[in-house]
Amino acid sequence: MDGAAVALDRVRVVLGGHAAVQDVSLAVPAGQRVALVGPSGAGKTTLLRLCTASVAAESGSVRVLGADLATASAADLRAVRRRIGSVHQQLDLVGPLRAVHNVNAGRLGAWGRARALWSLARPAEVDAARRALALVGVAGKMFERTDRLSGGEQQRVALARVLVQDPDLILADEPVSSLDPARARDVMDLLVAVAADGRERTLLVSLHDFELARQSCDRVVGIRGGRVAFDLAAGAVTDEIGAALYRLTTG
Partner 1 sequence: MTAARDLGGLTEHEFGFVARTRPRRRDGSAWPCPWPWRRRLWLAGLVAAVGWSLWSAGVGRREIVNPGGWTIFARFWKAAATPDLSGGFLRQTWEGALTTLAFAVLGTALAVAIGVVGGVLSSETWWRRDRARRGGRTSVSRGWLAGRAVWGLPRGVHEAVWGLFLVNVLGRDPLVGILAIAIPFGAVTAKVYADLIDESARGQYDALRLAGAGRVASLAYGVFPVVLPDLASYAFYRFECSIRSAVILGMIGAGGIGLQLSLSFQSLRYREMWTLIYALVAISALADVWGASLRRSSSRRRVGASLRAGAALVVASALHLGPDLGRLASAGTRALLADLAAASFPPSLPAGGWGGLVRRSVETAQMSVLAVAIAAALAVAAAFVAARGGGGAGRRATAAAARLLLLVTRAIPPPVWALLALFVLFPGPFPGAVALGVYNFGILGRLMTEVVENLDDRPHAAIAAAGAPRLSAFAYATLPLSLPRFAAYALYRWEVAARETVVVGVVGAGGLGRLLEQQRAAFDYGGMVGTALALVAVSILIDLISAAARRALR
State the nearest-atom distance from the C-beta of 250 to partner 1, in Å: 34
- What are 171's strand-pairing partners? 86, 204
State the nearest-atom distance from the C-beta of 27 to partner 1, in Å: 22
- Residue from 163, 49, 48, 167 nearest 99 by CA: 163
Complex with partner 1: residue 167 or 242, whichever CB lies closer? 167
Q: How many CB atoms lie within 10 A of CB 13?
A: 22
The answer to whether 220 touches 213, Cβ cutoff 8 Å, is: yes
State the nearest-atom distance from the C-beta of 153 to partner 1, in Å: 9
Q: Are strands 67-68 and 59-64 parallel, antiparallel or unpaired?
A: antiparallel
Q: Is the dihedral of CA 117, 86, 132, 149 positive or negative?
A: negative
State the nearest-atom distance from the C-beta of 185 to partner 1, in Å: 22
Binding site residues, partner 1, CB under 8 A: 52, 54, 78-82, 84-86, 88, 90, 92-97, 101, 105-106, 108-109, 111-113, 116-117, 120, 144-145, 147-150, 165, 167
Complex with partner 1: residue 52 or 215, whichever CB lies closer? 52
Complex with partner 1: residue 34 or 99, whichever CB lies closer? 99
Complex with partner 1: residue 161 or 224, whichever CB lies closer? 161
State the nearest-atom distance from the C-beta of 90 to partner 1, in Å: 6
- Residue from 119, 100, 215, 97 nearest 160 by CA: 100
Integer angstrom CA distances of residue 234 from 4, 21, 37, 224, 228? 19, 23, 12, 18, 16
Complex with partner 1: residue 10 or 148, whichever CB lies closer? 148
